[in-house]
Structure formats: C-alpha cells, structure tokens
C-alpha cells in the first residue's frame, strides 16, 4: 500500500468518525430540544399564562388557570 493510499484510508476513517460524532451531537441536540419543549409546555399555548398542576383522577395534569383547560 502506498503512502498515498494510506492517507486516503485514514481520511475515510476520519470522515466516518466525524459522521458518527455528528450523529451523536444531532441526537443530543434533539434531546435538549425535547427538554426545552417540555419546559415550553408549562405555559398555556393559548394565552401564555403559566400552567398549574392539577390532580385529576390520580393523575397530575397541567392546566391553564385562565382558559381552564388542559394543555396538550
């Protein structure tokens, strides 16, 4: 194998590693975005008021105190 071929192989491996790294960070970003979305869900999508936790049938849901309806 010539040095030139070795270099190309190394470059290919490097690109593969880079792709896996990118995928890892993409997944990581997705998790962060989902967490942020959960946080955003704590506000009423209709009026923007902070939601309150309400217990209903043993389950805790978040409702808007102004709209009086469960947030999705």
Nearer to Zn ion, 15 or 46 (CB): 46
Contact 64, 48 (CB under 8 A): no
Residue 51 touches Zn ion, criterion: CB under 5 A:
no
- Strands of the chain, DSSP E: 52-56, 59-63
Residue 52 touches Zn ion, criterion: CB under 5 A:
no
Q: Which of 19, 47, 50, 52 binds Zn ion (CB under 5 A)?
A: 47
Which residues contact Zn ion by CB under 5 A?
Answer: 44, 46-47, 49, 64, 66-67
């Amino acid at each position: 194998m010539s040095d030139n071929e070795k270099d190309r192989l190394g470059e290919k491996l490097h690109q593969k590693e880079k792709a896996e790294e990118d995928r890892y960070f993409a997944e990581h970003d997705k998790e962060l975005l989902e967490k942020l979305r959960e946080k955003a869900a704590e506000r009423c999508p209709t009026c923007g008021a902070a939601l309150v936790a309400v217990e209903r049938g043993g389950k805790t849901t978040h409702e808007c105190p102004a709209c009086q309806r469960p947030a999705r």
